């Protein structure tokens, strides 16, 4: 118990050491007299088809009751049955490795074409390479897939955005046109917000970006144009062999 008391004391001291500005009483009263703003909650984004599966992937990392509730609600929204959680061996392999572009290139088997035409003031925060968890809809089993590369940037205004580079794989099917932002719970129900998803090809690389998460659709189109990226066709060629669905940790 003593350690808890000590931690509590240290936290209290930490807070007391934060200098608060003078109380803006008039500004607060003015805000109080206005109608309340709508809740601006946005937890995380998940590719539309992978929304439930990604939660399944995360499920072992968070409390079971919480994720099961979310899974059930998202399942009912998307009318889609999620795959089972991946085995521990697959889970353990899904770890991000940060480094520079050369490090990332050494870890992937496609030629990385880095993002270009970024919004002014955006600076690269990190490049992370993460193996993917692949679920086969034919064999109903999980395996560790090829790594993908996350480019994370910080904007001058403080928020961040990311772009995901992966190897083009026809077995994946066409990229999702939309992704869903989890807006948290309203009236006891999970709320998903639809956002436009962009994917384009450069050689054997596919780059993915989501509008609304630090980047507007116009800014993403500018990046795609600067990279001379080729959009994917709306109609996907007929498939041969095993069709797999790939899920990534956020």
Partner 1 sequence: MNVERGLVERARSEDAALEALVAAMWPQAFRLAASILRDRGLAEDVAQDACAAIVRSLPALKNPGAFPAWFYKIVVRHALSEGRRRRPAEPLEALQRRCVNDPSDFLALEEAMASLTPLARAVVLLHYYAGFSSVEIGESTQLPASTVRFHLMLARRALRKALSATRAPDLLAEARDNV
Q: Which residues bind partner 1 (CB under 8 A)?
A: 1-4, 6-8, 10-21, 23-25, 27-29, 31-32, 34, 36-37, 39-44, 62-63, 65-66, 69, 154, 157-160, 184-185
Q: Residue 2 or 79: which CB sits closer to partner 1?
A: 2
CB of 60 to partner 1, least distance (A): 12
Largest CA distance in the chain: 67
CB of 74 to partner 1, least distance (A): 16
Q: Residue 193 or 244: which CB sits closer to partner 1?
A: 193
- Residue 3: exposed, middle, or buried by beta-carbon count in 10 A (0-12, 13-18, 19+)? exposed
CB of 79 to partner 1, least distance (A): 25
* Phi-psi group of 46: left, alpha or beta (phi > 0 → left; psi -120 to 50 → alpha; rest → beta): beta
Q: Whole-angstrom Cα distance, residue 180 to residue 66?
A: 19
Sign of CA dihedral 75, 78, 81, 84: negative
Q: Residue 46 or 227: which CB sits closer to partner 1?
A: 46
CB of 155 to partner 1, least distance (A): 9
Could you count the other beta carbons within 10 Å of the beta carbon of residue 75? 15
CB of 50 to partner 1, least distance (A): 20
Given the structure tokens 């995380």, which residue do they identify? 44
CB of 149 to partner 1, least distance (A): 20
Beta bridge partners of 225: none
Q: Residue 62 or 226: which CB sits closer to partner 1?
A: 62
**Hey, what long-range contacts does 195-199 have (CB within 8 A, 24 or more apart)?**
195/45, 197/47, 197/48, 198/224, 199/175, 199/231, 199/232
Given the structure tokens 């500005």, which residue do they identify? 21
Q: Residue 23 or 235: which CB sits closer to partner 1?
A: 23
Q: Residue 68 or 239: which CB sits closer to partner 1?
A: 68
């Amino acid at each position: 118990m003593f350690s808890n008391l000590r931690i509590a004391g240290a936290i209290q001291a930490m807070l007391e050491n934060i200098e608060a500005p003078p109380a803006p009483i008039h500004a607060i009263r003015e805000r109080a007299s206005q109608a309340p703003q709508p809740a601006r909650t946005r937890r995380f984004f998940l590719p539309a088809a992978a929304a439930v599966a990604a939660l399944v992937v995360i499920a072992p990392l968070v409390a079971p009751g919480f994720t099961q509730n979310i899974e059930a609600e998202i399942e009912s929204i998307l009318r889609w049955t999620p795959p089972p959680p991946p085995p521990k061996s697959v889970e353990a392999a899904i770890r991000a490795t940060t480094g520079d572009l050369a490090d990332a290139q050494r870890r992937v088997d496609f030629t990385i074409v880095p993002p270009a035409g970024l919004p002014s003031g955006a600076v690269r925060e990190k490049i992370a390479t993460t193996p993917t968890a692949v679920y086969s809809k034919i064999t109903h089993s999980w395996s560790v897939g090829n790594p993908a590369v996350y480019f994370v940037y910080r904007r001058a205004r403080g928020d961040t955005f990311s772009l995901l580079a992966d190897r083009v794989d026809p077995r994946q099917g066409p990229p999702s046109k939309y992704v869903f932002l989890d807006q948290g719970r309203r009236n006891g129900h999970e709320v998903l917000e639809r956002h436009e998803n962009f994917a384009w090809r450069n050689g054997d690389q596919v780059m993915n970006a989501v509008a609304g998460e630090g980047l507007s659709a116009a800014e993403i189109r500018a990046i795609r144009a600067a990279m001379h990226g080729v959009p994917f066709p709306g109609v996907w060629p007929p498939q041969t062999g095993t069709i797999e669905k790939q899920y990534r940790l956020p």
